């Protein structure tokens, strides 16, 4: 077993280690972060010989410019078992640096991390946040190693504070946006090689799946617009629930002011109040459904991008047909198949939850629309009474009710058109895609892992 750190301390130098945007690389670790394997690109970019990497703690490539709080947050999310993504600055064996967007997912006995060269719009923002968090850590620690835990906590807190200021309420929302933007920015076409018939079939399936996932990734910006639209409509309706209640109260007060002549108006006001009390819980239930659907959409976006990245990594890791795969390569394919199976299953679950949430929203919107149709009828009766009484205040009051309810009905139509906007067949197409990915993953997991690689 290799030592936990290199024999000679590596000194960081301000020189970037080059690799191409289309060069994906990966490594696997045990549950404690000790490196089990890595592909040729990882070996080349890190600058270490493979034998020097295997058995080392993964922090052999940690760069001193990285705030430790990032890894604290990273491992907390990884421990949840659902995968995590982060920008990471690594240090090569010669002290040079290279930035990656790393996606880490659980596999049997540990974790697999797929990395890509970052080029998306959030990369610069992340570097700025990291620099600020690192300064906080150094200030808190102030050369005293016993204060390191406090420093890490302070750095993590500062990072989350800065992300919140940038519009990301938590790290999970930031990592989802980062992964989606990087996968979208770094997508390249996959090319067939000169492999055997069986390998060619696997490559075709993966190539087709990658293309479908790529199309979904390109659609994710539109999905983000859907989330914003959902939230906006939901907030309007929440405001409407309180407004109707206030309108009803004002109508009751107005009818009391007018006196006996306004008995009919008083009745309308009382029914309007009762209807507002009936509608409010339904509106709030719809609001909760929208919140759930927005969260489900965020999970689905992450899963689409993660599945695309893992699928492409599997594709690039298949033997090229010019030489037989060695023990290490076969073992890596088993691990990649494990990651692909988990990713495709989670993607299917995320799609089912999101499309199921859309159906629930449609049903909830129909219920609220029926209740508001009664409010609309009461609003007409209120305006008629206002005209009969010759009271401009009553007419104005019910005119406001009418305008708000009309706008609410329009918002509800938007809810009811969501599935058509996204694509009525999207759920079925997504399920077929997940099945194809899972079948490929199963075939990879059936490879006999060589005993020498598994040891």
- 63: which 2 tokens? 């760069």
Q: Is 81 left (phi over 0), alpha (psi -120 to 50) or beta?
A: left
Model pTM score: 0.86
- Three-class SS state of 38: strand
Per-residue pLDDT tens over the stretch 197-249 = 455 778 888 888 888 888 888 877 777 777 778 888 888 888 887 888 888 88
Q: Dihedral of CA 425/431/434/436: which sign?
A: negative
- Three-class SS state of 231: helix
Tens of pLDDT along the chain (455 residues)? 444 444 568 899 999 999 998 899 999 999 999 999 999 999 999 999 999 999 999 999 999 999 999 999 999 999 888 899 999 999 999 999 999 999 999 998 999 999 999 998 999 999 999 999 999 999 999 999 999 999 999 999 999 999 999 999 999 999 999 999 999 888 776 655 544 445 577 888 888 888 888 888 887 777 777 777 888 888 888 888 788 888 888 888 888 888 888 888 888 888 888 888 888 899 889 889 888 888 988 999 999 999 999 999 999 888 765 556 677 788 898 899 999 999 999 999 998 898 888 888 888 888 888 888 888 888 888 888 888 888 788 888 888 888 888 888 888 877 767 766 666 556 777 888 888 888 888 888 776 655 544 44
Q: Please state, in angstroms and as integers, the Cα–Cα distance from residue 158 to each residue in 23, 57, 72, 85, 126, following that order.
A: 33, 27, 13, 19, 13
- The alpha-carbon radius of gyration of the chain (Å, integer) is 29
Q: Please state, in angstroms and as integers, the Cα–Cα distance from residue 316 to each residue in 24, 64, 119, 195, 210, following that order.
A: 8, 31, 20, 12, 12
Rounded-to-integer distance, Cα 272 and Cα 244, Å: 8
Per-residue pLDDT tens over the stretch 23-35 = 999 999 999 999 9
Q: Residue 383 is inside which H or E element, if any?
A: helix 327-389
Nearest to 140 by CA among 68, 75, 61, 66: 68
């Amino acid at each position: 077993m290799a030592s936990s750190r290199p024999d000679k301390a590596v000194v960081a130098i301000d020189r970037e280690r080059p690799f191409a945007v289309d060069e994906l690389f990966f490594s696997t670790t045990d549950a404690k972060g000790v490196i089990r394997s890595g592909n040729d690109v990882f070996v080349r970019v890190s600058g270490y010989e493979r034998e020097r990497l295997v058995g080392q703690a993964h922090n052999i490539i940690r760069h001193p410019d990285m705030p430790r709080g990032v890894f604290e947050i990273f491992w907390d999310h990884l421990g949840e078992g659902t995968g995590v993504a982060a920008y990471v600055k690594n240090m090569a064996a010669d002290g040079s640096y290279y930035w990656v967007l790393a996606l880490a997912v659980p596999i049997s006995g540990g974790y697999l991390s797929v990395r890509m060269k970052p080029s998306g719009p959030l990369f610069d923002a992340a570097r700025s946040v990291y620099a600020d968090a690192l300064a906080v850590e150094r200030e808190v620690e102030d050369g005293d190693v016993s204060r390191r835990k406090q420093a890490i906590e302070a750095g993590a807190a500062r990072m989350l504070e800065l992300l919140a200021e940038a519009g990301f309420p938590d790290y999970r929302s930031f990592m989802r946006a980062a992964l989606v933007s990087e996968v979208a920015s770094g997508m390249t076409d996959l090319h067939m090689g000169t492999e055997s018939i069986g390998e060619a079939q696997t490559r075709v399936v993966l190539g087709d799946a990658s293309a479908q996932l790529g199309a979904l990734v390109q659609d994710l910006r539109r999905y983000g617009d859907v989330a914003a639209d959902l939230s906006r409509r939901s907030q309007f309706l929440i405001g409407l629930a309180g407004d109707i209640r206030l309108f009803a109260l004002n109508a009751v007060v107005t009818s009391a002011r007018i006196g006996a002549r306004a008995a009919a108006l008083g009745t309308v006001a009382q029914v309007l109040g009762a209807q507002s009390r009936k509608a409010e819980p339904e509106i709030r239930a719809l609001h909760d459904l929208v919140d759930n659907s927005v969260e489900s959409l965020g999970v689905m976006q992450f899963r689409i991008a993660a599945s695309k990245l893992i699928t492409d990594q599997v594709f690039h890791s298949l033997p090229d047909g010019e030489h037989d795969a060695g023990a290490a390569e076969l073992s890596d394919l088993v691990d990649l198949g494990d990651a692909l199976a988990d990713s495709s299953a989670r993607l299917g679950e995320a799609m089912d939850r999101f499309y199921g949430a859309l159906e629930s929203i449609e049903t909830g919107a129909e219920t609220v629309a029926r209740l508001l149709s009664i409010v609309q009828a009461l609003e007409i009766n209120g305006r008629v009474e206002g005209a009969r009484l010759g009271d401009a205040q009553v007419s104005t009051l019910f005119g406001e009710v009418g305008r708000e309810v009309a706008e609410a009905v329009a918002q509800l139509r938007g809810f009811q058109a969501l599935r058509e906007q996204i694509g009525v067949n999207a759920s079925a197409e997504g399920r077929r895609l997940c099945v194809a990915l899972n079948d490929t993953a199963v075939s990879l997991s059936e490879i006999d892992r060589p005993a020498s690689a598994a040891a």
